[in-house]
Structure 1
Amino acid sequence: MERPIFKPLGTPTDELDTPSLVVELDALEHNLNTVHTFFQQAPAKLRPMVSTHCCPTLAHKQLAAGGTVDGIAVMTLGQAEVFAAYGCRDITIANSVVTSAKLRRLCALARQVDITVVADHPTQLQRMAQAAQDQTISLRVLVQLYADDRQSGNTPGAEAVAMAQAIQQLPSLTFAGISAAPVPMDASSARADVESMARQQLQQLAEARVALESAGIGVQVVSVGETTLYEEAARTDGVTEVMAGMYALLDAHYAPYWPQLQPAAHVLTTVTSRPEPGLAITDAGQKAVGIDLGLPQVTSQSGIETTGLSAEHCRLRLDASAQPAVSTGQKLWLRPWDLGTCTNLYDFMWVVRQGKIETSWPVAARGQYR
């Protein structure tokens, strides 16, 4: 595990070695204040999706900002175990837990903190019920509704009702409500299409709740993983919680959807080579920024475009407007396209204010895929 080389408080950010993941506190605090103040007044409350940053210190700042359900969401059991060890007491795992080994760990964790899991198939219910019965506990379960790509989930009508009824028939499980994952989107997704799909999903949630209540099934939780239209989701009739996480640090992918927020996380990189005019190479490649969903953006200087990343290097194209001239040894700022894949590459993030180091925070849940 990489550990931060000690830097006295107040050290200029430019003195950090590179590549480094850096969080600007002023921007982070602005984002937390903007989003959490909204949720303090909204009918639904926020459940921060902390898998986007994997940082317990940041998770606690989100919970302390108000407007939440006093709990977090993660994507893996391993992440849940880490955040529980760091004091988070209410955790939703927004993913399927299926294998026997994971179910034993899940039940052990449920003895320590309040755990809610999602399920979309009767076989999952049977496996969870047997594991919970063996350890004499009860598990809270959300029925997951499908996303448009149908990678998982139930239809909002008969399938969802049948799943809820199946949960009610298993004494070691408790039906908690329904959940919908975020609308799938990538670099090519048009904003209008994403917003249209998100609204369709919110309508499906409303229909599912009506179908369940018409069948005599009470619905305590209606949860939606809607980060794009979080304001509209929070005001949708019947929605009780919104799982959103990227708002805190804001990457290049989501920035166009949230003009009221500020990018708070960047990767500091150094120009290591100027092999020819119009070309620069830096030391922040795929292992430092991630490239799965899109290329990072240079934010510290205009006239520079990222054209590709190898494992250890970033390739930049410089046009005539790039002023001042880019030189070897110069440091630049990159805004990652997808912070979820970027933060997972670091053991810690530097926390700075107005260009000076204040502290570092461990990315303690990085690499917890299981």
Structure 2
Amino acid sequence: MFGSEPEWFTIKNIAKIDTPALVVYPERVKENIRLLKSMVAGVEWLRPHVKTHKMAEVSQLLLAAGITKFKCATIAEAEMLGMAGAPDVLLAYQPVGPKIKRLRLLTETYPDTQYSCLIDNAHSAAEIGGIFDEAGRELPVFVDLNVGMNRTGIKPGPEALGLYLACQEIDGVKPIGLHAYDGHLRDTDFAERKRKSDVAFAPVAALAAEITGKGLPNPILVVGGSPTFPVHALRSGVECSPGTFIFWDWGYSQALPEQNFSFAALVLTRVISKPNNETLCLDLGHKSVAAENPFPRVIFLNAPDVQAISQSEEHLVVKVNPGNNYQVGDVFYGVPIHICPTCALYEQAYVAEAGEVKTTWKVVSRNRFITV
């Protein structure tokens, strides 16, 4: 599992890097982007989610690869994409309260970026439309469909069709597509995951056909996430929205074995204490690696025998084999089980190229506000 090149992650000037730290390996990021592109008919069918990396520099790598459409979850992520020069950004969230005016301000601040958002009810659509219309603007919107996640959205069917048609009459918004996230489908067996995804997608396709049957333009279909990406990538006329592929993580590497993305971001930690020959304490607490999952929350590439036994805000206590040679000060290179919330814990990422760190990238949209 640790590969034929077990030292790809080693950093020569590690003495200059304080821990805990987030490290990004750009060449592996680029390889993940190349693999992503090879899985679809063309880059026009990609709308990657930026929630994983939250970095302008990573967004620029995607742009350099010809990807022009993006998806995000927060106003800050949307602004980061505007700063990076992204042409097309979908806020995959229904803005309410102050977020609506912030979104309008984004459209005014970054006029070269086409922003859009999700809606799942007529009241929100009217509220969004009112705020945009008063400024003489019109916001493209996607009707958010609930295909089983039961988190947001409206079930595809007559009510969803009615909402789409109603939005045609609301000043300030313009319905242009449908959004369906099937993140609840995570079967390790790909055939079963595909079967369930096909079932969930069928009413989405039917709704799209009903919309065109009313004489309206074909709605843009934005669907899926990482687990069902290989399924939707084979559909015609569908924009796919994976996100974790950019860095990958241990959780998806185990749950989605058909996807061969590479680990491209790691957390680094040091041994800060050795209470006894079977116990180490690392500087990798809840504040340094996503803690929403049970143990293990991180797998160490250069210390596979380590087993977590407890964790607090700034400490991770692990059990090791009695015959180990670990010493205080040793550096462990870890793959998080869940990389997305892990990245959000760091203000910056070290950038490792040719085995050495010479610069950092700011995790700029980990914050809820940038300027807007």
Query: Shorter-normalised TM-score: what interval?
Result: 0.7 to 0.9
Tell whether the 8 Å contact from 2:119 to 2:125 is kept in structure 1 after alignment.
yes
Residue type of the partner of 2:188? R
Structure 2 distance, partners of 1:26, 1:255, is 19
Tell whether the 8 Å contact from 1:253 to 1:337 is kept in structure 2 after alignment.
yes
- 1:208 has 2:210 as partner: no
Structure 1 distance, partners of 2:299, 2:365, is 26
Q: What is the aligned length?
A: 351
Question: Which residue pairs with 2:17 in the alignment?
Answer: 16
Tell whether the 8 Å contact from 2:90 to 2:117 is kept in structure 1 after alignment.
yes
Tell whether the 8 Å contact from 1:298 to 1:305 is kept in structure 2 after alignment.
no
Q: Tell me the percent identity.
A: 22
Offset at 1:259?
4.4
What SS does structure 1 have at the residue aligned with 2:250?
coil
Offset at 1:172?
1.9
Tell whether the 8 Å contact from 2:149 to 2:182 is kept in structure 1 after alignment.
no
Tell whether the 8 Å contact from 2:193 to 2:228 is kept in structure 1 after alignment.
no
325 and 208 in structure 1: CA distance in 2 versus 1, 3 angstrom threshold: farther
Q: Which runs of 4+ in 1 moved over 4 A?
A: 193-196
Structure 1 distance, partners of 2:70, 2:13, is 33
Structure 1 distance, partners of 2:341, 2:92, is 17
What SS does structure 1 have at the residue aligned with 2:161?
helix
Offset at 1:30?
1.7
- In the TM superposition, what whole-angstrom CA distance separates every residue of 1:336-369 from its partner, at most 9, and x where no partner exists? 1211111111111111124211421111111227
Question: Which residue pairs with 1:135 in the alignment?
Answer: 135
Question: Which residue pairs with 2:316 in the alignment?
Answer: 314
Residue type of the partner of 2:82? A
- In the TM superposition, what whole-angstrom CA distance separates every residue of 1:160-186 from its partner, at most 9, and x where no partner exists? 21111011111321111100124137x
Tell whether the 8 Å contact from 1:120 to 1:144 is kept in structure 2 after alignment.
yes
119 and 138 in structure 1: CA distance in 2 versus 1, 3 angstrom threshold: same
Offset at 1:44?
5.8
Structure 2 distance, partners of 1:165, 1:206, is 16
Structure 2 distance, partners of 1:268, 1:25, is 16
Structure 2 distance, partners of 1:19, 1:75, is 26
Question: Which residue pairs with 1:361 in the alignment?
Answer: 361
Question: Which residue pairs with 1:33 in the alignment?
Answer: 34
What SS does structure 2 have at the residue aligned with 1:47?
coil
Matched ranges for 1:248-327 at <5 A: 248-256=246-254, 257=256, 258-294=258-294, 295-319=297-321, 325-327=325-327
Offset at 1:190?
4.2
Bigger drift between 207-216 and 116-125 goes to 207-216
Tell whether the 8 Å contact from 1:13 to 1:352 is kept in structure 2 after alignment.
no
TM-score by length of 1: 0.88
Question: Which residue pairs with 1:7 in the alignment?
Answer: none
Tell whether the 8 Å contact from 2:287 to 2:345 is kept in structure 1 after alignment.
yes
Offset at 1:218?
2.5
- In the TM superposition, what whole-angstrom CA distance separates every residue of 1:2-22 from its partner, at most 9, and x where no partner exists? xxxxxxxx9623541111101
What SS does structure 2 have at the residue aligned with 1:365?
helix
Tell whether the 8 Å contact from 2:23 to 2:265 is kept in structure 1 after alignment.
yes
Structure 1 distance, partners of 2:203, 2:291, is 33
33 and 332 in structure 1: CA distance in 2 versus 1, 3 angstrom threshold: same
Structure 1 distance, partners of 2:309, 2:26, is 29
Structure 2 distance, partners of 1:49, 1:42, is 17
Structure 1 distance, partners of 2:16, 2:76, is 34
Bigger drift between 225-234 and 211-220 goes to 211-220
What SS does structure 1 have at the residue aligned with 2:325?
coil
Structure 1 distance, partners of 2:321, 2:165, is 62
TM-score by length of 2: 0.87
Structure 2 distance, partners of 1:237, 1:146, is 21
- In the TM superposition, what whole-angstrom CA distance separates every residue of 1:220-252 from its partner, at most 9, and x where no partner exists? 31001321232320221341x111111010011
Offset at 1:265?
0.7
- In the TM superposition, what whole-angstrom CA distance separates every residue of 1:56-114 from its partner, at most 9, and x where no partner exists? 10011012113x3x122110123212331333332110011011x22112112223231
Residue type of the partner of 1:95? Y
Residue type of the partner of 2:220? V
Question: Which residue pairs with 2:8 in the alignment?
Answer: none
Structure 1 distance, partners of 2:312, 2:74, is 28
Residue type of the partner of 1:104? K
Tell whether the 8 Å contact from 2:140 to 2:176 is kept in structure 1 after alignment.
yes
Tell whether the 8 Å contact from 1:52 to 1:339 is kept in structure 2 after alignment.
yes
Question: Which residue pairs with 1:244 in the alignment?
Answer: 242
Question: Which residue pairs with 1:6 in the alignment?
Answer: none
Structure 2 distance, partners of 1:196, 1:22, is 37
Offset at 1:42?
4.2
Structure 1 distance, partners of 2:205, 2:43, is 15
Question: Which residue pairs with 1:232 in the alignment?
Answer: 231
Offset at 1:196?
4.6
Tell whether the 8 Å contact from 1:271 to 1:330 is kept in structure 2 after alignment.
yes
1:71 pairs, out of 69, 84, 106, with 69
Residue type of the partner of 2:346? Y
What SS does structure 1 have at the residue aligned with 2:268?
strand
Question: Which residue pairs with 1:151 in the alignment?
Answer: 151
